[in-house]
A and B are shown apart, each in its own frame.
Chain A
Amino acid sequence: MKAAELPHVVGAALPRYGVAIGCVGLALAFGYLLGPDVEIKLGPLLMIAAVVLTAWFSGLGPGLMAVILSTLAVEYFWTEPIYSFVIVRNELPLMISFILCGLVGLALSLQRRKQEQMSAENQATLERRVAERTVQLKISEERWRNLFETSSVGIALTEPGGKFLRANQALQSMLGYDEASLRLMSLSDLMAGEGVAGPQEPGGGLEVPLRSADGRIVWVSLSVSVIPASDRSPALASAVIADISARRSAIEDWRRGQAEVAKATRLTTMGVLAASIAHEVNQPLSGVVTNGQAADRWLRASPPDVAEARAALSRIVRDGNRAAEIIRSIRNILDPVGDEPKPLSVNKVIERLVPLVENELAAQSIGLTLDLAPDLPKIVGDAVQLQQLVLNLVLNAIDAMRGEHAADRRLIVRTRPGEGGVVVSIEDRGSGLPDIDHDRLFEPFYTTKAEGMGVGLAICRTVVESHGGRIWAESPASGGARFAFTLPAVDQGGTLAAEKESKTS
């Protein structure tokens, strides 16, 4: 094994030790050529230089070898007796001095050499690290670029003023412009109209219509964030632009559907009303007919009973007037109020509705309690819409008590001042609310009725909210359900109190 290693070790060490031999040899040659006769002994000086050089180039081992060789050379060539290794006593201090000088030169040279080596190593480490970092940066840059380029959402980098600097592929294909043409434009050039606030949720930025290259309107959700200026780059804005055309058109479809459903519901309500009206008018009319027939019979009797006949005739007049009165009051209810909302008394709206549902209540054997607070503030609203709202809730309550063999079939309509206006509640003793979050009741197409479409309460909420109020459902301790809504009051000037508050604040 040693035999196998030896050539390698020797091979590595040979040049280094060769340096020692070479340097000392050179010094010897120079010193010798310049001659021993020179007053100052040049040879030893050169020997020191050889030691320093050897140590510098080849390190400690060859350096020590050079010290030994040069000591031998000095002893041989430059000390008495010349050309002999015999050491004379008086030459001894000189030899010792030479050896010391050689060792000091060796040490200093080694010291320098070590420093040089260390700094070279540092340099190399630094260079390696820089290279590694560069690679990492390249990967990172590539990753971000990929994210930017392949994102399905449009991403743009703009100047703070909105001028495009970069636009990714998704944005280019969304708008139909390439990046070069976009760089000539700014975001506001593309806007085709006012933006609207998006849904209240994370990522629900502003919704704006943008005009694409072919003139099409693309509704997008736009969220812009500003990248503040740093000492290296000016301020920038990054815009994330998502195409929401599909979502918007779905919402618009739904809105259109809702309007149609509202119309259908109104027709249904009118149908119920018509039946109710028919019954209300039919009662006195059938009184008129029967009284007429009775009067005829009294007069045809022998002898004719004029007194009875006259009594029947006066009932005819009375019942006829009653029928006319009912028709008049219904016309009052159904009269369109016009588009202009005006101050209204909630109690009056409710009282006018009562004749319309009395019949339905009687048919279901439901007792009605009207608990209307006097001196309520006036509210501003559309009387027809509010009547529909209350009517809808009342008909719901009647439905809830249908088939319910409760002893206490009761409908309570209550008004109270409160919540900066009027609180109206409609309470039944029916089957009660389903065991779910009550807010869900007002969602479109949520229904518990077999034949229901689940739009009634959704429309109720729309009406209440368009009047600035809120609507909710609760389960009263007495059983059944209670639906309540608020309507904000108006002050003397006729503006909504709540509105005014928000203006002054």
Chain B
Amino acid sequence: MTTAGTILVVDDDAAVREALHSLLRSVGFAVELYGSVPEFVARGGLPDTPCCMVLDIRLPGMSGLDFQNELTRQKVAPPIIFITGHGDIPMSVRAMKAGAIEFLTKPFRDQDLLDAIHAGLEVDRKRREESRDLADLQTRYAALSGREQEVMAQVVTGLMNKQIAVNLGIAEITVKVHRGQVMRKMNAQSVVDLARMADRLGIERDPQLTRASVR
């Protein structure tokens, strides 16, 4: 029943840390313990595997909420589960708004924590998968020739081959050939599929182009 992943525990209280260590190991997680944010930063930071952070709100040096903001700002935030001695509503709202998975008040039910951790790991796994997919896509896009990229941009805008030919000043048959190459190299099943890829790659559809061609 174990989910592969590393759990990062940041809590200044040794008793809480040790208990969490034992609990999380008993269900098969790899666990790393830190007493404070600076200690976490000093000892290597985020691992390369799916992970989830169990973070105390009240910490010496830098509070858990501030640390969450900092990680979000650097775009490296792992899923975070906050634990706190006495959390108030504004605090939990702030944490959840900033993207926390869960906000647990000590002492908490072990199952609540484990559920949150599973959810967090799943989120992280997905995030990692997605970022891996995006990297693939970017490699494929980079493999297109300049002309093919131009054709792709116009295809995903929804233009007919004829219009593209006029726009680019080439023969319609040439457009057809480029289009076939784009579909093959991008491994796209349909124009809709290609359009989705263009979205993920952030290729902009030029509305002016559309209007010019219609005329």
Contacts and interface: CB of A to CB of B under 8 A. Distances in A.
B196 interface: no
Contacts of A275: 86
Nearest to B36: A365
B86 A283 contact: no
Interface in A259-293: 275, 278-279, 282-291, 293
Nearest to B11: A283
B58 A363 contact: yes
Interface range for A = 20 to 34
A210 B12 CA distance: 67
A148 interface: no
Interface string B150-188: 000000000000000000000000000000000000000
A112 interface: no
A361 to B, nearest CB: 8
A297 B60 contact: no
A295 B108 CA distance: 15
Given A275-B86, A298-B26, A363 B19 contact: no
B202 interface: no
B203 interface: no
B60 A365 contact: yes
A359 B106 CA distance: 15
Task: For chain B, give the interface size range.
Answer: 20 to 34
B59 interface: yes
Interface in A119-154: none
A287 B12 CA distance: 12
Majority SS at the chain B contact face: loop
A365 B67 CA distance: 12
A297 B27 contact: yes
A100 B174 CA distance: 174
Nearest to B16: A287
Given A287-B13, A288-B107, A294-B19, A308 B26 contact: yes
B63 A287 contact: no
Contact of A291 (B13, B19, B63): B19
Nearest to A298: B26
A285 B108 CA distance: 11
A291 B22 contact: yes
B70 interface: no
Contacts of A282: 85-86, 106-107
B61 interface: yes
Residue in A285, A289, A294, A311 whose Cβ sees the most chain B Cβ within 10 Å: A294
Contact of A365 (B20, B26, B61, B110): B61
Given A289-B107, A359-B58, A297 B26 contact: yes
A296 to B, nearest CB: 8
Nearest to B106: A286
B15 A308 contact: no
Nearest to B113: A290
B23 interface: yes
Contact of A311 (B16, B22, B106, B107): B22
Interface stretch (A84-92, A249-257, A312-320): A312-320
A286 B107 CA distance: 4
Interface string B102-142: 00001111100000000000000000000000000000000
Contacts of A15: none
B30 interface: no
Nearest to B66: A365
A278 B22 contact: no
13 contacts: A284-B15, A286-B108, A287-B16, A290-B22, A290-B107, A290-B110, A301-B26, A308-B25, A319-B15, A322-B15, A362-B12, A362-B58, A365-B59
Which 9 A-B pairs give the minimum distances between C-beta atoms? Answer: A287-B15, A286-B106, A289-B107, A286-B107, A290-B19, A293-B110, A294-B23, A294-B22, A297-B26
Interface of B: 12-13, 15-16, 18-20, 22-23, 25-27, 58-63, 85-86, 106-110
Interface of A: 275, 278-279, 282-291, 293-295, 297-298, 301, 305, 308, 311-312, 315, 318-319, 322, 359, 362-363, 365, 367
